[in-house]
Structure 1
Amino acid sequence: MQIWWQSFVDPVQNEPYLARLGEYLNDIADAGTTVDVHGIAPGDRHFGRLTEFRCAALAIDNALEASVQGYDAFVMGHFQDPGLYEARSALAIPVVGLGETSLHWAAQIGRNIGLVTIDPVFERWHLEQADLYGLSGRISHVVGLGVVVEDFAASFAGDEQALTRMLARFSELVQPIVDDGADVIVPAGALPSLLLRGERGLTVGHAPVVNSVAVTLKSSESWVRIHELTGLEPSRGPSFALAPSGAIDDFRDLLANGRQGVQRPG
């Protein structure tokens, strides 16, 4: 089994993180599974809706390429899942979202879900996600680490003091929301989840902490196996009707060639 894991970080600027992520995913993968991690250049660097939209378009194009290359599954490895539904409607192979999977997993082991996101700017996005996934009443808290992607670099490059500081910041944010009623914690991103990769049975107070990276990989492997065993796919009615080949060709042409021959307004 071969899985394409799509990160939204720049592969050059964030090489230590992508290297650790690839090592971890392949370490915990089932025998016979290979996970290839891919970044985006430029990555998700100017936090906001427009950047998410740009990265989503690139990720969808990469999802189409993964299908062409014969991958068995595509993972949208960015918690906000931008472009997830569009990719799912364009591919026959399983398309799995880090955010969607982690939130539904958390909903099985706790009632009140607390999210720890990278930056407070994503709070509104996460609440919209929860509503989209039918979990709006289950998200009790969202807190932001208030960091940028590059702040994680030292931790993944082997700086133990940097790792200790990041973990302390995580705990500092989580304890108050557990005290206030959150009973399961989800690191809302592969970056903060990977910081916790060495922990087993991690809890803050009574609240278990979901390893979003691990549950998403294992869900992806399960989706491939279920698809092989039963042929189960997403609904191809209104929810995820497969895009016609012409729509795929137009999309990929736009990404490859831009608006050549089309006069921009103004």
Structure 2
Amino acid sequence: MKIWYQSYVDYENGAGYWDRLRPHLAQSAMLPDTELRIHGITPFDSYAHPLVEFRCAREMICNAVQAEREGYDAFIVGHFQDAGLYEARAAVDIPVIALGEATMLHACQMGQRIGIVTINPRFIPWFHHQIGKYGLRERITGVDAMAFEPGQILEAYGDDAKAEEVRQLFEAQAAPLITDGTDVLIPGGGIPMLLFAQFHNHIVGDAPVLNGIPIAVKMAELAVSLKRQTGQSVSRVGDYVKAPEHVIEEFLSHPKGL
């Protein structure tokens, strides 16, 4: 089983992150024959803004098509905002699993009231759009934020003092959510998730703090296994109607950024 893991950070700007992500992905796989390969986006997602999300989404969709053509069995969007997720699923037949969606859905099995703490307040409206799209407004009851840019929080990799600062800021923002009844916490991003992975059984006020990276990996493996067994994947009715081949080719050939 070969899985493409699409990071929105490139190695040039996030070497510390990639060096920790590689072994973490390998440890996350359930099946001994699973091969996970990380691919980045350049320029990387360095600023929290919808325009950046859409720019990265276009490259991600192109990469999903490339992954399928190169024989990958599944594609993971390793970025919590999941920009371009539905469009990618409408462009390929291999399973496309997204970090944000996978984590939120798994959290629903661990508690009734879920809270998200993202790295930057500008992500909050985007998260509320995601929550509504996934039909989880009654389950995800709070979204709060720290105050980092994606590029800034990368500096905590390899710096224990900065990592501890991020953890303390996360827990401070999570505290009001816990007081309000939240029973599961999600760090809103792959970068803080991996940073917090070093804290085994990370909890805040008895609420588990989810690391969605292994969840997404295992869901991708499960999706591939189920497709092999049943022949079924996403519905081709509604949001995931498959785009005609000429439309996909037109999308791939159009100059990026235009």
Aligned to 1:45: 46
CA distance in structure 1 between the partners assigned to 2:96 and 2:255 by the alignment = 20
CA distance in structure 2 between the partners assigned to 1:18 and 1:141 by the alignment = 30
Q: What do you get for the CA RMSD once the two structures are aligned?
A: 1.5
User: What is the total number of aligned residue pairs between the two structures?
Assistant: 257
CA distance in structure 1 between the partners assigned to 2:28 and 2:98 by the alignment = 18
Aligned to 2:207: 207
CA distance in structure 2 between the partners assigned to 1:46 and 1:153 by the alignment = 12
> In the TM superposition, what is the alpha-carbon distance from 1:63 to its structure 2 partner?
0.6
Question: Structure 1 residue runs of 4+, over 3 Å off?
Answer: none
Aligned to 1:97: 98
Aligned to 2:135: 134
> In the TM superposition, what is the alpha-carbon distance from 1:255 to its structure 2 partner?
4.2
Which protein, 1 or 2, shows the higher relative CO under an 8 Å CA cutoff with sep ≥ 6? 2
Residue type at the aligned position of 2:153: F
Aligned to 1:264: none
CA distance in structure 1 between the partners assigned to 2:98 and 2:202 by the alignment = 23
2:185–2:210 contact (8 Å) kept in structure 1: yes
Aligned to 1:263: none
Aligned to 1:109: 110
TM-score by length of 1: 0.92
> In the TM superposition, what is the alpha-carbon distance from 1:153 to its structure 2 partner?
2.9
Measured against aligned partners, the alpha-carbon deviations of 1:221-264 in whole angstroms (never above 9, x if no partner) come to 111111111112111122311111101110110146x76xxxxx
Aligned to 1:87: 88
Show structure 2 runs of 5+ residues with no match: none
1:11–1:41 contact (8 Å) kept in structure 2: no
Residue type at the aligned position of 1:247: V
Aligned to 1:223: 223
Show structure 1 runs of 5+ residues with no match: 260-266
TM-score by length of 2: 0.95
Bigger radius of gyration: 1
Measured against aligned partners, the alpha-carbon deviations of 1:67-108 in whole angstroms (never above 9, x if no partner) come to 111111001111111100000011111001111111111112
CA distance in structure 2 between the partners assigned to 1:199 and 1:161 by the alignment = 14
Identity over aligned pairs, percent = 39
1:58–1:255 contact (8 Å) kept in structure 2: no
